[in-house]
């Protein structure tokens, strides 16, 4: 008798939910849906939930929880090149959370509404005898037919990422006492990167027409690039030494080279990964300069399947299973 194991999230989606997908849902492989909007536009729809103890640490300040909730959703809109418009909010809150918590949560929402130019479109609230459970359904706009999908990478494309990788996973390691960082500014930087993702909306919007395929990195670079490759029917080769690391992340890797795995599989980066033809590299560099968000070429798309990571010596590196369920 064959051993059985629980289905992973992607297997569950494929088996139980993909058969239910509406035409605009892109077979549920793109993490967003597209529906017709006003003339010349489409709406991009996305929903993402966060649960206390899984996606954020118990005791996290409520304004940070609110901001993370919004930003993980906005990050998906960024990856399609969309302009965010608004969101629906569902809260299931333990009864012991009082009005002070709610006031802090609403303040976090208000702050990010101002930052990102979005508004609350509606919601529902429940009591729950369990962990804080929150979800947002976000809606954005994109020029009709111009959303950048996951399924359209082509052999010969270069692979790029925005920002720096691994910071959030290292920040979580600091919070959990698994990583000691002496320098207070470096420690704060890493923790902040864990608490407050920076949805790359401006670069995402500028990449419409330049990028062939794009997604945001939430489960870890290798895992998410794997999703992009699967959806596109291509392979990717990444050169580990090209991974963009912040100074605090470089310091951690210098101390123990195994922390490089934070950049490859740590998750919670909420940076964009995209493929684009070599011919647009100059335009990509220009948008990086104009938006102030670094963009780095880290590898290439090839025919085949899967993601390979090459070390400094050019030999393939093993990357552990993506750590997107952290604690």
Per-position DSSP letters for 171-182, written without gaps between them: HHHHHTTSS---
Asked if 40 is part of the footprint of its own copies (rule: CB under 8 A), the reply reads no
Asked whether 166 and 266 are in contact (CB, 8 A), the reply is: yes
Question: Which residue in the set 124, 241, 290, 321 belongs to the binding site for its own copies (CB under 8 A)?
Answer: 124
Site pattern 216..255 for its own copies (x: CB under 8 A): ----------------------------------------
Q: Is 127 in the site for its own copies (CB under 8 A)?
A: yes
Question: With respect to its own copies, which residue has the nearer C-beta, 117 or 316?
Answer: 117
Near its own copies in 180-219, by CB under 8 A: none
What is the nearest approach in angstroms of its own copies to the Cβ of residue 80? 12
Q: Min. distance of Cβ 81 from its own copies in angstroms?
A: 17
Interface with its own copies includes 36 (CB under 8 A)? Answer: yes
- 34 bridge partner residues: 44
Q: What is the largest CA-CA distance in the chain?
A: 59
DSSP designation for 320:
P
Least separation in angstroms between residue 176's CB and its own copies is 18
- Rounded CA gap, 262 and 294, in Å? 19
Inter-residue contact 283 to 228 (CB < 8 Å): no
Residues of span 80-99 touching its own copies by CB under 8 A: 85-86, 88-90, 92, 98-99
The reply on whether position 37 binds its own copies by CB under 8 A is yes
- The whole-angstrom separation of Cα 276 and Cα 232 is 13
Alpha-carbon gap, residue 113 to 14, rounded angstroms: 34
Residue 70 is a binding residue for its own copies (CB under 8 A): no
Alpha carbons 249 and 255: distance in angstroms, whole number = 10
Q: Nearest approach, Cβ of 6 to its own copies (angstroms)?
A: 8
Tokens of 137: 């359904």
CA distances from 95 to 55, 92, 209, 214 (A): 20, 9, 48, 40
Q: What is the binding site for its own copies (CB under 8 A)? A: 6-7, 9, 12-13, 16-17, 19-25, 28, 31-33, 35-39, 43, 45-51, 53-55, 85-86, 88-90, 92, 98-99, 102-103, 105-106, 109-110, 113, 118-131, 133, 135, 137, 139, 325
């Amino acid at each position: 008798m064959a051993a059985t194991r629980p289905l992973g999230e992607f297997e569950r989606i494929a088996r139980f939910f993909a058969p239910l997908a509406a035409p605009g849902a892109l077979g549920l492989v793109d993490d967003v849906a597209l529906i017709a909007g006003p003339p010349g536009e489409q709406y991009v729809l996305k929903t993402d939930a966060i649960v206390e103890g899984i996606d954020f640490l118990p005791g996290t300040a409520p304004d940070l929880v609110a901001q993370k909730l919004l930003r993980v959703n906005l990050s998906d809109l960024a990856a399609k090149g969309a302009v965010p418009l608004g969101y629906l909010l569902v809260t299931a809150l333990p009864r012991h959370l009082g009005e002070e918590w709610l006031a802090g949560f609403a303040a976090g929402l208000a702050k990010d509404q101002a930052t990102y130019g979005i508004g609350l479109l509606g919601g529902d609230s429940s009591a729950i005898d369990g962990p804080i459970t929150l979800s947002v359904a976000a809606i954005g706009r994109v020029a009709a037919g111009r959303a950048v999908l996951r399924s359209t990478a082509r052999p010969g494309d270069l692979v790029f990422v925005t920002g720096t990788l691994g910071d959030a996973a290292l920040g979580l390691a600091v919070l959990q006492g698994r990583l000691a960082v002496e320098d207070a500014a470096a420690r704060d930087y890493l923790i902040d990167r864990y608490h407050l993702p920076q949805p790359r909306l401006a670069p995402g919007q500028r990449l419409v027409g330049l990028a062939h395929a794009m997604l945001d990195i939430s489960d870890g670079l290798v895992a998410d690039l794997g999703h992009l490759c699967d959806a596109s029917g291509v392979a990717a080769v990444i050169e580990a030494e090209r991974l963009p690391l912040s100074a605090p992340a470089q310091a951690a890797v210098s101390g123990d080279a195994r922390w490089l795995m934070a950049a490859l599989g740590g998750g919670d980066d909420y940076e964009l990964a995209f493929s684009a033809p070599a011919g647009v590299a100059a335009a990509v560099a220009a948008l990086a300069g104009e938006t102030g968000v670094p963009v780095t070429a880290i590898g290439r798309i090839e025919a085949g399947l899967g993601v390979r990571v090459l070390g400094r010596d050019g030999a393939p590196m093993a990357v552990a299973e993506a750590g997107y369920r952290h604690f």
